[in-house]
Homo-oligomer: A and B are copies of this chain.
């Protein structure tokens, strides 16, 4: 079982605050995500800034692309993104078109997706999925449970590299012990901490303790 990556999600509503936060933790994390909110607010400038700041890190544009996959992906690549996300209800042609332009496409799982659909993504050559506790679901009081874990495990068994995200903190990580998670994604769990660099390092240390 590999050691899971740590990904910081920058879900800021403006680029200056995202830059101010990322410089504290960018060297500690493995993957830097330009979150959807930031993509929609700052556009390609946000991806370009992250690429300029971190030429050797993996940069993901969390576009949650639903259509025009080829154009969105080409734009992401040209701005400097390695990976981008597509929403699970996008069509297979959209996903395939995106996959031609960027190094990797990740399917964001929201709503009532099925394993039959997931097999079609694999068949289309897309092998990363993001299992997401919806931010709004979390705000409505839902949290990680056995139901989530069994879905994550099933996706891994199918052949996906699975990222998990949504309300994660250092204490939550042990819930996933024994599960070959590919990447843990957290935003405010790092950026809103009193000491963001220490928070990122605490995530890394706990990942190493459990999976190292």
Contact = CB atoms under 8 A, between A and B. Distances in A.
A87 B89 CA distance: 8
Contact of A108 (B66, B88, B108): B66
Contact size range, A: 35 or more
Contact of A43 (B41, B88, B140): B41
A151 B39 CA distance: 33
Interface stretch (A20-28, A129-137, A174-182, A195-203): A129-137
Contacts of A43: 39-43, 45-46
B136 A68 contact: yes
A110 B179 CA distance: 32
Q: How many copies does the complex hold?
A: 2
B41 A91 contact: no
Interface string A102-138: 0000001011110001000000000000001011110
Interface in A121-175: 132, 134-137, 139-140
- Give the top 7 A-B pairs by smallest Cβ distance, nearest first: A89-B111, A43-B43, A93-B136, A89-B89, A94-B136, A42-B43, A64-B66
Interface of A: 11, 13, 36-37, 39-46, 61, 63-72, 75-76, 87-91, 93-94, 97, 108, 110-113, 117, 132, 134-137, 139-140
8 contacts: A37-B68, A40-B61, A66-B108, A67-B132, A88-B111, A89-B110, A90-B111, A97-B136
